[in-house]
Amino acid sequence: MSEADALRLAAVTKSYGRTLAADALDLVVPEGEVVAVIGPSGCGKSTLLRLVAGLERPDAGSIEIAGEVVADARGWRHPEQRRVGLVFQDHALFPHLDVRRNVGFGLRTLSRPERRARVETMLHRVHLADLAARRPHELSGGEQQRVALARALAPDPAVVLLDEPFSSLDEHLRQRVRSEIMATVRDAGTTAVVVTHDQTEALSVADRVVVMRAGRIEQVGTPQEVFERPASRFVASFMGDADYLPATVEGDRVSCEIGVVPVRPSLTAGTSYDVVLRPHDVTVEADPAGAAEVVHVEYHGAFVLHAVRLASGARVRSWQAHSVRHPVGTRVSVGLVSGPGPVLLPVEETVVR
Amino acid sequence: MSPAPATRGAVRRVLGEGRWAWSALVVLVGALISAPVVAVVVDGVLGAGDTQLPRNVGDMVFTSLWLLLGVGCGTFVLGAGLAWLVSAFDFPCRRLLSWALVLPLAMPAYILGFVFLSTFDVAGPVQSLLRDWFGADVWVPDVRSLGGAVIVMSLTLYPYVYLLARAAMVEQSATTYEAARTLGATRGRAFLRVLLPLARPSLAAGLALVMMETLTDFATVQYFNVHTVSVGVYLVWKGSFDLHSATQIAALVLVFAVALLVGERLLRGGARFTQRGHRGVGPQRERLRGFKAALASAAGLGVLGVAFVFPVLQLVVWALGASTDPLDPRLGDYLANSVTLALVVAAVCVTVATLIGHAQRLGGGRLVRSAAQLTTFGYAVPGAVVGIGVLLVMDWLDRGLVAAGVEGGTGLLVTGSVLGILIAQVVRFVAPAHQAIDASFTKMPPSITGSALSLGASPRRVLTRVHLPQVRSGILVATVLVVIDVVKELPLVLLLRPFGFTTVSVWVYQLASENFWEKAALPALLIVMLALVPVVVLVRGRDPRRRVEP
């Protein structure tokens, strides 16, 4: 294997009773990369994290951290023997220790002066040097989060794992803390795995996004890839709003009810395809002669979401600038935004919502 | 999925994540603590038919049944009735009563019992007065009877039912009760048809506790010449030192205990406590006026007076009356015995409970969980069973040692020393310690343990630097609870004490049995005051077993 891989999972499997929480997971994370693992609750994303941390033992498969095997069929290393940093949703600071002692907890192998220096460095890095003598309960949620990160990064782990790190924070606080925390992780150059259920978060913080579902990895790719080129209906729906219209293929031309699709995908003959339509791909124009009708309007501030019923009865949604508002019942004509267009996906037996 | 990982997963769920030493420790402790009970079962089954049960064993069984039934009914009426009174009505002294009615919990039955006897028995003031008024041959019911025992035990044990019933009524049913009332039900009907059924799981739990305590007792009932199966164990062992006959009866006691637990499950009918996060306010209380209000106050104050206030006053009067005499020098010795015993037992129980909590946090798997459950078993098993079980285990150990060539085995290590009492008390009181410490562990999020481990701390360092500082309050509560339980405890000490070893509780019992009321008063007061500590903490709204971290 490459020396530069911080984390390597091969066919890692874990079940709880009948539930398969990790089904032969394969994942390689190069050093310094930030990976977001995303999926609905119960998809196994937290299990993946706990397996890497050593809080759970895999039933099968192997895990390597920085080139060292920490779990395979022959052996298993306890969490204290792995070079892993952990940041939990509830921060998990030690309530009986002050900030300085919390950050210094994992530095037992260092000499006292070394430890003190390292703690100071870490506190400066998260801008908390002034609060070193405080107890956790005297800190705000965002400050606690930063202490938790400083504590996890202090022993210089090969990989730092963040389990829904921002979901316990208030909405308005979340974005700021998120950018601060992720900037610190980037500065430290540490490999990071962030578990989240928030697609905006996954798309904005990560170099690569891992989309999980029912213990399996559905797609791994850059944020752009998983959003713009979803590999499945599940990924398409989970990573953003999506509507589907049947595609008609005539020679080289692919079209759907609202227009010609400007893509030339390699299509398999004999397979039916759907066009994946994001609301920002769809245009809506008031048109008394239009075959479609506005059925629902939602004002979102910057944008207005229009739901439109087409002549066929299918529904699509469209984002319009906040100044545009077609009342319910307006006849409209619907089209596709020009530019790099929507993707095609094979029609699946099961409908994913 | 291939079958191999599945099997491996199943094995691991049982054995845990491989902290072998910690898991093994818990399993060992679980085995040791459950050994006495297992011994009674094994010996009881193997020896069935070999040994002659005492001829009056049938009577004992019926006496036990009647006592359990009587105390069950008594505590149900007092506990549920008073709980309804203070939660559905408003009347003078209601606020005082709502907490003060818990106080009798601090009055051990063997103390209330002798105060009761001194007052109502032939030589007591009540019967003297009656004789003065109605002549010497006035008929009075026999006080030293099953009825007397039922009254005394009901008065000391009703707070269990009262506490749980009141909590259930306040927490669960404010809106349901109101709904029933708006649908036209009278208060009485709403109580019978809505409050009571909703409180059923709590009432079942309370009654089960009461009956367990009743079954365990073999001291108080002897004041009243009531011979239950537990008394049978005591008398057979102390009378003949025939371990196997005693075991046979102890096994019988165990059957009663199991039947009680099964009964509780059936009475619950699958219902679980609904623990809501918020504190309910309970049904809107109806204001009582005039005669009804006076009646309600009188009922509450009457029970409180009879069960707690008058007995305490009587003890104080006696103690003051005896205060002119020089203080009995033995009191100091016996007190020292009680306290030493209590501290040692508490230290062992707290250590065991802490280690179990820690091992469970390290991911012990199902085996450790089961072993932890086993350690709390002793609390639900009557004292007579635990006592005889300890003797049996030591007897086996003795024979094992002799067979292995050790002359004299363990000698008189158990029957001749305090060790037996110590072990038996540990078996019995690990449960409250475990409960208190486990509550502290439960409040600590698992992510704390995970964080500490992944920061490179060894399990031992996690214990000393992370877990111990955070469960400190639980450890403190556990220590206090166990110390008080041990000082109060009477039956186990009576059964197992070596010749010449006396604790305060035994002394009170002996003095009371010989009608030295005044001499018994001071040590009895000491015990009551000590027992008040957890009750007061409980009353102040801070149940010591679920205290909130500051």
Q: pLDDT for B189-248, tens place per residue?
A: 777 777 777 778 888 888 888 998 898 888 888 889 899 888 888 888 888 888 888 888
Min mean pLDDT across A220-224, B182-186, B365-369, B461-465 is at B182-186
| Residue B181 binned pLDDT confidence (cut-offs 50, 70, 90) | confident
- B378 compared with A125, residue with greater pLDDT: A125
Which two tokens mark A74?
A: 């022959």
Cα(B310)–Cα(B304) distance, rounded to whole angstroms? 9
Residue B158 CB neighbour total at 10 angstroms: 30
CA distance A211 to chain B (A): 22
DSSP state of B546: G
> Would you state the pLDDT for residue B301?
95
Q: What is the pLDDT of residues B91-150, one digit of tens each?
A: 999 989 988 999 998 899 999 998 998 888 777 778 778 888 887 777 777 788 899 999
Nearest to A106 among B5, B455, B470 (CB): B455
Greatest distance between any 2 Cα atoms in chain B: 91
On whether the CB atoms of residues A247 and A261 are closer than 8 A, the answer is yes
Kindly list the distances between the CA atom of residue A128 and the CA atoms of A120, A122, A180, B470, in Å, as whole numbers in the listed order: 9, 9, 12, 25
Across the interface, whether the CB atoms of B9 and A152 are under 8 A apart is answered no
Contacts of A92 in chain B (CB under 8 A): 445, 447-448, 450-451
Q: Does an H or E element contain A336, and which?
A: strand A331-336
On whether the CB atoms of residues A288 and A305 are closer than 8 A, the answer is no
Is A75 in CB contact (< 8 Å) with chain B?
A: no
DSSP state of A163: E
CA distance A81 to chain B (A): 6
Cα(B20)–Cα(B459) distance, rounded to whole angstroms? 12
Mean pLDDT of A180-185: 91
User: In residues, how long is chain A?
Assistant: 353
On whether the CB atoms of residues B144 and B117 are closer than 8 A, the answer is yes
On whether the CB atoms of residues B263 and B215 are closer than 8 A, the answer is no
Pairing of strands A208-213, A191-196: unpaired
DSSP state of B194: I
Where do runs of H (alpha helix) occur along A109-216?
112-125, 141-153, 171-188, 199-205
Across the interface, whether the CB atoms of B18 and A57 are under 8 A apart is answered yes
| Residue A353 binned pLDDT confidence (cut-offs 50, 70, 90) | very low
Does the pLDDT at position B410 exceed 70?
Answer: no
Residue B326 CB neighbour total at 10 angstroms: 6
Q: What is the pLDDT of residues A47-101, one digit of tens each?
A: 999 999 999 889 999 999 999 999 998 888 999 999 999 999 999 999 999 999 9
Which range has the top average pLDDT, A193-197, B44-48, B361-365? A193-197
On whether the CB atoms of residues B493 and B506 are closer than 8 A, the answer is yes
Amino acid letter, B534: P
Quick one: which of B483, B473, B486 has its CA closest to B544?
A: B473
B-chain residue closest to A52, CA distance: B454
Where do runs of H (alpha helix) occur along A105-161?
112-125, 141-153
Contacts of A13 in chain B (CB under 8 A): 1, 5
> Would you state the pLDDT for residue B252?
86
Cα(B83)–Cα(B246) distance, rounded to whole angstroms? 40
Nearest to B454 among A14, A85, A89 (CB): A85
Nearest to B450 among A14, A55, A60 (CB): A55
> Would you state the pLDDT for residue A166?
87
Min mean pLDDT across A214-228, A241-255, B261-275 is at B261-275
Amino acid letter, B170: V
CA distance B375 to chain A (A): 26
Mean pLDDT of A142-168: 92
Mean pLDDT of B252-266: 85
Cα(B140)–Cα(B143) distance, rounded to whole angstroms? 8
B-chain residue closest to A153, CA distance: B455
| Residue A3 binned pLDDT confidence (cut-offs 50, 70, 90) | low
Residue B59 CB neighbour total at 10 angstroms: 13
Mean per-residue pLDDT over chain B, rounded: 83
CA distance A344 to chain B (A): 32
| Residue B415 binned pLDDT confidence (cut-offs 50, 70, 90) | low
Which of B451, B462, B473 is best to mutate for the A interface (most A CBs within 10 A)?
A: B451
Does the pLDDT at position B42 exceed 60?
Answer: yes
Across the interface, whether the CB atoms of A79 and B17 are under 8 A apart is answered no
Across the interface, whether the CB atoms of B5 and A90 are under 8 A apart is answered no
- Among B residues 89-128, those touching chain A with beta carbons less than 8 Å apart: none
Mean pLDDT of B436-461: 91
What share of chain B in percent tops pLDDT 90?
28
3-state secondary structure (DSSP) of residue B401: helix
3-state secondary structure (DSSP) of residue B352: helix
A to B CB pairs, distance under 8 Å: 94
DSSP state of A252: T
B-chain residue closest to A53, CA distance: B454
Which two tokens mark B372?
A: 């932890």
Min mean pLDDT across A129-138, B249-258, B393-402 is at B393-402
Nearest to A13 among B5, B18, B470 (CB): B5
Quick one: which of B375, B160, B384 has its CA closest to B255?
A: B384
Q: C-alpha angle A238/A43/A344, rounded to 5°?
A: 35
- Please identify which residue in the block is written with the tokens 């009353």: B539
| Residue B503 binned pLDDT confidence (cut-offs 50, 70, 90) | very high
> Would you state the pLDDT for residue B547?
37
Cα(B237)–Cα(B414) distance, rounded to whole angstroms? 14
Which two tokens mark B200?
A: 């059923």
- A264 compared with B116, residue with greater pLDDT: B116
Query: What strands, in cross-sheet order, belong to the sheet with A303-309?
Result: A282-286, A331-336, A292-299, A303-309, A315-321
DSSP state of B55: T
Cα(B483)–Cα(B425) distance, rounded to whole angstroms? 11
Long-range contacts of A345-352 (CB under 8 A, 24+ apart): A345/A230, A345/A232, A345/A233, A345/A236, A345/A244, A345/A273, A345/A274, A345/A276, A346/A268, A346/A271, A346/A272, A346/A273, A346/A274, A347/A246, A347/A271, A347/A272, A347/A273, A347/A274, A348/A232, A348/A233, A352/A232, A352/A233, A352/A234, A352/A237
Which two tokens mark B288?
A: 């009582």
pTM over 0.90: no
Is A96 in CB contact (< 8 Å) with chain B?
A: yes
> Would you state the pLDDT for residue B125?
79
Contacts of B465 in chain A (CB under 8 A): 105
Contacts of A78 in chain B (CB under 8 A): 17-19, 453
> Would you state the pLDDT for residue B3?
43
Cα(A164)–Cα(B496) distance, rounded to whole angstroms? 57
> Would you state the pLDDT for residue B118?
86
| Residue A340 binned pLDDT confidence (cut-offs 50, 70, 90) | low
Where do runs of H (alpha helix) occur along B322-364?
330-361
3-state secondary structure (DSSP) of residue B121: coil
| Residue B349 binned pLDDT confidence (cut-offs 50, 70, 90) | very high
Amino acid letter, A219: Q
Q: What is the pLDDT of residues A283-315, one digit of tens each?
A: 999 999 888 999 999 998 889 999 999 999 999
Contacts of A85 in chain B (CB under 8 A): 454-455
Mean pLDDT of A135-158: 93
Cα(A131)–Cα(A136) distance, rounded to whole angstroms? 10
Cα(B389)–Cα(B363) distance, rounded to whole angstroms? 32
Which two tokens mark B188?
A: 């009485």
Mean pLDDT of A329-352: 76
Mean pLDDT of B464-485: 90
In sequence order, what are the residues at sequence separation of 6 or more whose Cβ sits closer than 8 angstroms to the Cβ of residue B57?
B229, B232, B249, B252
Q: What is the pLDDT of residues A94-130, one digit of tens each?
A: 999 999 999 999 998 899 999 999 999 999 999 999 9
Across the interface, whether the CB atoms of A59 and B451 are under 8 A apart is answered no
Which two tokens mark B266?
A: 């059936």
> Would you state the pLDDT for residue B280?
52
Nearest to B451 among A56, A60, A86 (CB): A86
Q: Residue A109, exposed/middle/buried by CB under 10 A (0-12, 13-18, 19+)?
A: exposed
Quick one: which of A76, A61, A136, A75 has its CA closest to A105?
A: A136
Is A303 in CB contact (< 8 Å) with chain B?
A: no
Mean pLDDT of B66-79: 95
Residue B14 CB neighbour total at 10 angstroms: 12
Does the pLDDT at position A350 exceed 70?
Answer: no
Q: C-alpha angle A290/A292/A297, rounded to 5°?
A: 120
Cα(B30)–Cα(B430) distance, rounded to whole angstroms? 10
Assembly ipTM: 0.84
In sequence order, what are the residues at sequence separation of 6 or more whose Cβ sits closer than 8 angstroms to the Cβ of residue A277?
A242, A243, A244, A245, A258, A316, A336, A342
> Would you state the pLDDT for residue B541?
53
Does the pLDDT at position B442 exceed 90?
Answer: no
- A338 compared with B237, residue with greater pLDDT: B237
Nearest to B445 among A14, A57, A92 (CB): A92
- Among B residues 409-468, those touching chain A with beta carbons less than 8 Å apart: 445, 447-448, 450-459, 461, 465-466
Across the interface, whether the CB atoms of B18 and A78 are under 8 A apart is answered yes
B-chain residue closest to A154, CA distance: B455
Across the interface, whether the CB atoms of A13 and B452 are under 8 A apart is answered no
What share of chain B in percent tops pLDDT 70?
87
Amino acid letter, A63: I
CA distance B29 to chain A (A): 24
Which two tokens mark A203?
A: 């798309």
**Spacing of C-alpha A219 from chain mean position:** 11
A-chain residue closest to B455, CA distance: A106
Contacts of A79 in chain B (CB under 8 A): 450, 453-454
Q: Does an H or E element contain A13, and which?
A: strand A5-16
Quick one: which of B383, B306, B257 has its CA closest to B151?
A: B306
| Residue B467 binned pLDDT confidence (cut-offs 50, 70, 90) | very high
DSSP state of A76: B
